[in-house]
Amino acid sequence: MTQYSRVSGSVGLITLKNPPVNQLSAVVRHGIVDTVQKALSDPKVKSVVICGQNGMFCGGADIKEFQTLANMRGPPLIPMIHSIEAADKPVVAAIEGGAFGGGLELALGCHYRIAHSKAKVGLPEVTLGLLPAAGGSQRLPRLIGVPAALSLITTGRHITAAEALQLGLVDQVADHNTVDAAVKFALSVAGQSLDARRISNFQCPPVPNMDALFEDVMQKVRTTARGAIAPIACVQAVRAAATLPYTQGMQREKELMATLFTSGQARALQYCFFAQRVVGRWSMPSGARWDTSKGRPIHKAAVIGLGTMGRGITVALAQTGLSVVAVETQEKQFMEAKKAVSNMLERGAKRSGKPLAHGKITYSQSLQAVADVDLVIEAVFEDMGLKKKVFQQLSAVCKPGTFLCTNTSTLDVDELASQTHQPELVVGMHFFAPAHIMKLLEVVYGPRSSPELVAVVMELGKKMGKVSVAVGNCRGFVGNRMLKPYRDQAYFLLEEGATPQLIDQALEEFGFAMGAFKVSDLSGLDVGWKVRKEEGLVQPGGGSGKSARIRNGVRYSPLGDLMCEQGRFGQKTGRGWYQYDKPGSRDARPDPWMHSFLEEYRARHGLVARRISNQEVLERCLYAMINEGFRVLEDGIAAGPEDIDIIYVFGYGWPRHRGGPMFYANMVGLEIVLERLEHYAQANPDMPTLQPCSLLRKLVASGSPPVNKWKEVIKNVRSQL
Ligand SMILES: CCCCCCCCCCCCC/C=C/C(=O)SCCNC(=O)CCNC(=O)[C@H](O)C(C)(C)COP(=O)(O)OP(=O)(O)OC[C@H]1O[C@@H](n2cnc3c(N)ncnc32)[C@H](O)[C@@H]1OP(=O)(O)O
């Protein structure tokens, strides 16, 4: 797992060999300890270079080893890095590809660092619920200063070699063969004193107003962390570097790591890391899979409809380098969209430092312009009649074999597919607004969708920088289907005595970016109102008598309809569940009007307000959502719990440090979730979404296996259907 050779006569070359990213598994650590020892004791060797095979220096500690302490065998990282730093021969890290986490900490123990110009470096431990505890939290501030180290360690962001050079994190950047450059460099520094190269001996560069700096950073970190503990521990560790001698700082680093290492948050975040990779290995109920389905290249794509979503999708496609035909038939929207897309591209280019993708887009007001494209994404208004018409036209206009995708968020993808000559070439691409920014893409296949098309769209999602999750077709797919019972419970709780602020506060304290009512104000109450009207659920004035709160035999809250009747559509009208300074403003303030509105509503329906606890808010909203998640799994709409969790973390503001709803259910204990659902279902027999799903019962009966073992139980359940 490590290879050793002597090159250029006097340089000991140690190569880390552990695919896929040369992670520092026990066997690699053994190899490093042995080969460093060999190099240092060989009188012919005057200096040492450490590199990684296959163009990657090192992806850090082996995250799989973190699952249990028992896995952590082999030489520990810290003394290994100390012995490299203490060596009396110069050790040079040759960084190709990347040096992350323990990989960068290893490089910080070396006396010199040379990076390839395309390499990236970073300390992303915080994203795994940890801190750089192999000396990284102590060495980095000593090398690049406290403010820069805080920025890197608390965010975990990866930086380019150029930025690393500017910060003084690397000593040289190479454009060609980094190992050759490092060997040459190692030859040039052989025999030189290393006193000034051992970072642990450095004093942290002084910071003016240090207390104020740390207070300020801590405040910011607490706000953005939304309850995550690792970023806070990272600040504390850097503070130790800034205020304590190295040895004491290391002790503090160790104590902080001990708290984080076994925390539920670290487990959740590490689960998310692997879940994100699991969803890339998609499968369909037909047995088609990512590794047996091959796509074909897409050279030219089209977007139909340049409203908010269509504009974002156009930008996302253009940024991949594809040629894009953007079609909008309405003159006013057409002119506005051209300008908006161009501005969005400019802002994107500024943000990323990459060149503008303008030239790749051609605009048209005619559907005929898409005749020769390879793939179309329809993004017209969310109306089945309109979308059906567009699909009929596309089927007539496009060349045979063109892939047709719809950006619907709820409508039946199969029904749209049935409007075309080749229904197997139709899938849903459910983007999230703003489509060029939001990371999630739900790829919705129907029973007839070809695996080739799913492969093409999953690949396209990757090129757009999305986390794509393949899911089956049903109302609302995975994300919106699970959101409905969550939102319904929030409305029912309002009826029973809660306020929008109480519910939102409970959800935000849990870690959601925004509570259910703030989200509703942001997306607009009128959107759901229109859908409910089409479904025949809305009664003027909310209806009266007992039936006002029942539709199709199940509990229904007309509160949202009543709000819309009053023109309270949310942020866009300056009034919704909250009040805003003016239409379009984002600063939500409690509205005293709500109090009388709810009192009057409760009085009309004979409801007596009661005290609602945060615990009830969380249990009813989250467990109703989770219960629907089990139904999604039972129906085969999602291939596994990871798919659901990634959808929620990347598309719905679920706090990553809680791992996603299905992981969270597992953390709480499936038997507890089941018991609480039974309790609430009994108290509310008119809420069938609280009736525990049979898959949940079966999992509990199977001894509540860990989340990565659910697929086996699901397979059994499905085989019995
Ligand atoms: C009382 C208790 C006290 C306990 C105290 C314990 C003390 C312990 C002290 C130890 C201190 C250790 C401190 C160091 C910690 C770390 O280093 S944590 C790891 C930090 N590194 C990372 O977070 C990097 C993670 N990887 C990535 O970001 C990317 O993989 C990449 C390196 C940028 C490459 O990206 P890309 O090319 O897109 O490939 P991927 O698809 O992401 O990955 C390819 C496969 O590699 C697997 N993988 C990646 N990194 C790791 C890793 N570090 N460990 C294990 N496996 C890794 C990844 O899962 C992919 O595999 P598949 O899932 O099979 O596809």
DSSP 213-227: HHHHHHHHHHHHHTT
Which CATH superfamily, name and number, covers 498-604? N-(1-d-carboxylethyl)-l-norvaline Dehydrogenase; domain 2 (1.10.1040.10)
β-partners of residue 165 are none
Query: Cβ atoms within 10 A of the Cβ of 635, count?
Result: 16
* 605-644 pLDDT per residue, tens: 999 999 999 999 999 999 999 999 999 999 999 999 999 9
The response to whether residue 98 sits with its C-beta less than 6 Å from ligand 1 reads yes
Mean pLDDT of the chain: 95
Q: Which CATH number fits domain 2-261: 3.40.50.2300, 3.90.226.10, 1.20.58.220, 3.30.70.20?
A: 3.90.226.10
Question: Residue 162 Cα, ligand 1 centroid: separation in angstroms?
Answer: 23
Three-state secondary structure call for residue 236: helix
* pLDDT number for residue 141: 98
Report the pLDDT value the prediction gives residue 541, as an integer from 0 to 100. Answer: 85
| C-alpha span between 595 and 385 (Å, rounded) | 40
Strands (E), 295-447: 300-304, 323-327, 361-364, 375-378, 403-406, 426-431, 440-445
Residue 100 Cβ contacting ligand 1 at under 6 Å: yes
Which residue has a Cα nearest atom 47 of ligand 1? 20
Q: 637 C-alpha to center of ligand 1: Å?
A: 30
Closest-lying ligand 1 atom to the alpha carbon of residue 103: 17
560, 529 in Cβ contact below 8 A?
Answer: yes
**CA distances from residue 20 to 52, 54, 496, 619 in whole angstroms, order as listed:** 11, 9, 54, 41
Distance, in Å, from the CA atom of 313 to the CA atom of 302, rounded to the nearest integer, reads: 10
Query: How many Å apart are CA 437 and CA 415, to the nearest integer?
Result: 29
Does the predicted interface ipTM exceed a cut of 0.90?
yes
Q: Is the CB of 23 under 6 A from ligand 1?
A: yes
Averaged pLDDT for residues 428-452: 95
Strands (E), 541-673: 550-551, 554-555
The strand pair at 550-551 and 467-472 is best described as unpaired
Cα 279 to ligand 1 centroid, rounded to whole Å: 17
Residues in the chain: 721
Q: Among 105, 508, 619, 642, which one carries the catalytic annotation?
A: 105
| Confidence check: pLDDT of 70 > 90 | no
Q: According to CATH, where is 3.40.50.720 located in the chain?
A: 293-477
Pocket test for ligand 1, best of 1, 16, 21 (most atoms within 8 A of CB): 21
Question: For residue 73, what pLDDT is reported?
Answer: 84
Cα separation, 262 vs 387, in Å, equals: 50
**Counting Cβ atoms within 10 Å, is residue 441 exposed (0-12), middle (13-18) or buried (19+)?**
buried
Ligand 1 center to 675 CA (angstroms) = 37
Q: Is residue 60 lining ligand 1, measured as CB closer than 6 Å? A: yes
For residue range 536-569, what is the model confidence (pLDDT) as tens digits?
999 988 777 778 899 999 999 999 999 999 999 9
Q: What is the pLDDT of residues 210-262, one digit of tens each?
A: 999 999 999 999 999 999 999 999 999 999 999 999 999 999 999 999 999 99
Whether ligand 1 lies within 6 angstroms of the CB of 52 is answered as: no
Ligand 1 centre distance from Cα of residue 10 (Å): 33
Please give the distance, rounded to the nearest whole angstrom, from the Cα atom of residue 97 to the centre of ligand 1.
14
16 beta partners: 2, 52
* Tokens matching residue 612: 């609602």
Atom of ligand 1 nearest to the CA of 278: 63
Q: Does residue 71 have a pLDDT over 70? A: no
Residue 124, ligand 1, Cβ within 6 A: yes
CA 63 / ligand 1 centre spacing (Å): 5
Residue pair 325/364 in contact by the 8 Å Cβ criterion = yes
- Residues of the chain above pLDDT 90, percent: 92
Q: Whose CA is nearest to atom 4 of ligand 1?
A: 258
Strand partners, 116: 174
Please report the pLDDT score of residue 359 as a whole number: 61
Instruction: Answer yes or no: is the C-beta of 257 below 6 A from any ligand 1 atom.
Output: yes
Residues 6+ apart with CB under 8 A from 239: 214
How far are the Cα atoms of 230, 236, 271, 279, 466 from residue 641, in angstroms, in the given order? Answer: 25, 35, 11, 10, 19
Q: Compute, in angstroms, the gap from residue 62 CA to the centroid of ligand 1.
A: 6
Is residue 449 a contact partner of residue 417, using CB atoms and an 8 Å limit?
yes
Side-chain-facing half-sphere of 526: CA atoms under 13 Å: 11
Using CA positions, which residue lies closest to atom 37 of ligand 1? 21
Give, as one character, the DSSP assignment of residue 79.
H
Tokens 């990684």 correspond to what residue? 52
CATH superfamily of 293-477: NAD(P)-binding Rossmann-like Domain (3.40.50.720)
Residue nearest to atom 40 of ligand 1 (CA): 277
105 catalytic, yes or no? yes
List CB contacts of 715: < 8 A, sequence separation 6 or more. none
pLDDT in tens, 176-222: 999 999 999 999 999 999 999 999 999 999 999 999 999 999 999 99
Taking every pair of Cα atoms in the chain, the longest distance, rounded to a whole number of angstroms, is: 94
Site to substitute for ligand 1 among 16, 57, 63, 80, most atoms within 8 A of C-beta? 63
From ligand 1's centre to the CA of 175, what distance in Å? 26
Among positive and negative, which fits the CA dihedral 544, 547, 551, 552? negative
Estimate the share of the chain in helix, then strand, then coil, as percent rounded to the nearest 5: 55, 15, 35
Angle (CA) 171-99-271 rounded to 5° is: 155
Q: Could you give the count of Cα atoms lying within 13 Å of 95 in the half-sphere of its Cβ?
A: 34
Ligand 1 in contact with 258 (CB < 6 A)? yes
Burial of 702 (0-12, 13-18, 19+ CB in 10 A): middle
Q: Is the CB of 134 under 6 A from ligand 1?
A: yes
pTM listed for this prediction: 0.95
Task: Judge if the beta carbon of residue 281 lies within 6 A of ligand 1.
Answer: no
133 Cβ closer than 6 Å to some ligand 1 atom: yes
Instruction: Give pLDDT tens digits for 489-505.
Output: 999 999 999 999 999 99
pLDDT score recorded for residue 357: 66
Question: What are the start-end ranges of the H helices in 87-209?
Answer: 102-109, 136-144, 146-155, 161-167, 178-189
Give the pLDDT confidence of 8-31 residue by residue, as tens digits: 999 999 999 999 999 999 999 999
Ligand 1 in contact with 62 (CB < 6 A)? yes
| Ligand 1 atom 20: residue of nearest CA | 101
530: exposed, middle or buried (Cβ count in 10 Å: 0-12, 13-18, 19+):
middle
Give 56 Cα–ligand 1 centroid separation in angstroms.
13
Query: For residue 63, which atom of ligand 1 is closest to its CA?
Result: 54
Q: CA 345 to CA 334: how far, in whole Å?
A: 17
61 CB under 6 A from ligand 1? yes
Count Cβ atoms below 10 Å from residue 281 Cβ, excluding itself: 13
* List of residues 6+ apart from 613 with CB closer than 8 A: none
Kindly state if the Cβ of 261 falls inside 6 Å of ligand 1. Answer: yes
Separation between Cα atoms, residue 649 and residue 658, nearest integer Å: 9
> What is the spatial distance between Cα 117 and Cα 555, in angstroms, rounded to a whole number?
61
Residue intervals in the chain for CATH 1.10.1040.10? 498-604
Q: Are 129 and 197 in contact (CB under 8 A)?
A: no
CA of 60 to the centre of ligand 1 (A): 6
345-354, 372-381, 389-398: which has the minimum mean pLDDT? 345-354
CATH 3.90.226.10 domain range(s) in the chain: 2-261
Q: Name the catalytic one among 85, 96, 125, 619.
A: 125
Per-position DSSP letters for 247-261, written without gaps between them = HHHHHHHHHHHHHHH
Q: Is 102 in the pocket of ligand 1 (CB under 6 A)?
A: yes
For the CA of 59, the nearest atom of ligand 1: 32
With a 6 A CB cut-off, is 59 part of the ligand 1 pocket? yes
| 591: helix, strand or coil | coil
In this structure, the residue with its CA closest to atom 63 of ligand 1 is: 277
